[in-house]
Amino acid sequence: RLICGPNTIDVEITPIWKLLIKEVLNPFYIFQLFSVCLWFSEDYKEYAFAIIIMSITSIALTVYDLREQSVKLHHLVESHNSITVSVCGRRAGIQELESRFLVPGDLLILTGNKVQMPCDAILIDGSCVVDEGMLTGESIPVTKTPLPKMESSMPWKTQSEADYKRHVLFCGTEVIQAKGACSGTVRAVVLQTGFNTAKGDLVRSILYPKPMNFKLYRDAIRFLLCLVGTATIGMIYTLCVYVLNGEPPEEVVKKALDVITIAVPPALPAALTTGIIYAQKRLKKRGIFCISPQRINVCGQLNLVCFDKTGTLTRDGLDLWGAVPCDRSGFQEVHSFVSGRSLPWGPLCAAMASCHSLILLDGTIQGDPLDLKMFEATTWVRSCSADDLRSFFNARATQ
């Protein structure tokens, strides 16, 4: 426990003073401060006061939004740290333990349904039905099977190859059904804790996103460099003209610096911040977090979004029209399910009724939509009760 640390995902709420300093030290606002001081020295107060009010308002709104989203993210992750689990010890037996004290190697006992996984664990006994919607976005329950017992010194992930994920219960997912083998217990060994888990990786990617290197920012820097270059040329020209005309040195410096404030508009950051804040408000109404507001400007360039999943823009369900049985290396006539005729018993019917990953959860069959449609077409019934199976076969025999 001293080596691995507590099994917690602590998201620090950023203090207001840190957010304020980070925002105020923006180069644009520093340039605004320089411009305002120059205008006050020239007794140009009205526009200077307007810029000050706009800047203070935009800074305050930005800090408020960032603080609010930081607090919401903290509360969203905080529930992970207050879960009670059953742990099997070598000497103490099964005991209740807070999830924050879990370490890799602990043996978890999964009892009952609707269990929130507080860590990454590998299933060694029993089977589980897990909702991984928090990680993958898929609403279809996933069946987890125990790690096969192999007489080998190779790592378990190497043995399982690409299918290793079907043995792992990921942190943040919900175990909606746990079923032991031969009326035994469902056991899992803790693999990763804290920020090393799948949920920890997700939270870390939100807190520390990859730096952007988009064409928009490269073009923006080039544009600003062009403005600075233009301002430098104008400043040199102004210096030459005023010096040749014999103007006082103070007046020459002020007029030369005025050229810079004209070439690079001081109200630009306030205008950009106002647009970003308005966009954040619209995202907030949709329940979307944004802790990196500068990415909103990049998203403003998008004019086409492609979705790669059926069900995002198309309908979720599938309808089974028919099946083509195969016998003696040849296809038979198409059996249409639209007519309402049941599929006669045979290899095809047996495969459709048994080769699937459907589960019975609270009396309702759940699983992949295509598997569900195929199973429904067979008119068979899935049940875990011997009495239900007996009554079903009796009913089939009397037909």
Catalytic residues, by residue number, are: 308
Question: Within a 10 A sphere around the Cβ of 133, how many other Cβ atoms?
Answer: 15
**Which sign does the torsion angle of CA 101, 107, 108, 111 carry?**
negative
Give the C-alpha separation, 82 to 100, whole Å.
7
CB 299 within 8 A of CB 275: no
CB 235 within 8 A of CB 256: yes
Question: Within a 10 A sphere around the Cβ of 367, how many other Cβ atoms?
Answer: 20
Give the C-alpha separation, 157 to 315, whole Å.
36
How far is the CA of 129 from the CAs of 112, 149, 157, 176, in angstroms? Answer: 12, 21, 21, 6
Give the C-alpha separation, 170 to 258, whole Å.
60
- What are the tokens at 336? 């249409």
CB 235 within 8 A of CB 260: yes
Annotate 71-103 with b (16+ C-beta within 10 A) or e (fewer). Answer: eebeeebeebbebebbbeeeeeeeeebebbebb
Residue 197 burial (10 A CB sphere; 0-12, 13-18, 19+): buried
Question: Within a 10 A sphere around the Cβ of 120, how many other Cβ atoms?
Answer: 23
CB 174 within 8 A of CB 153: no
**Amino acid symbol at 143:** T
The whole-angstrom distance between residue 40's C-alpha and the CA centroid of its chain comes to 48
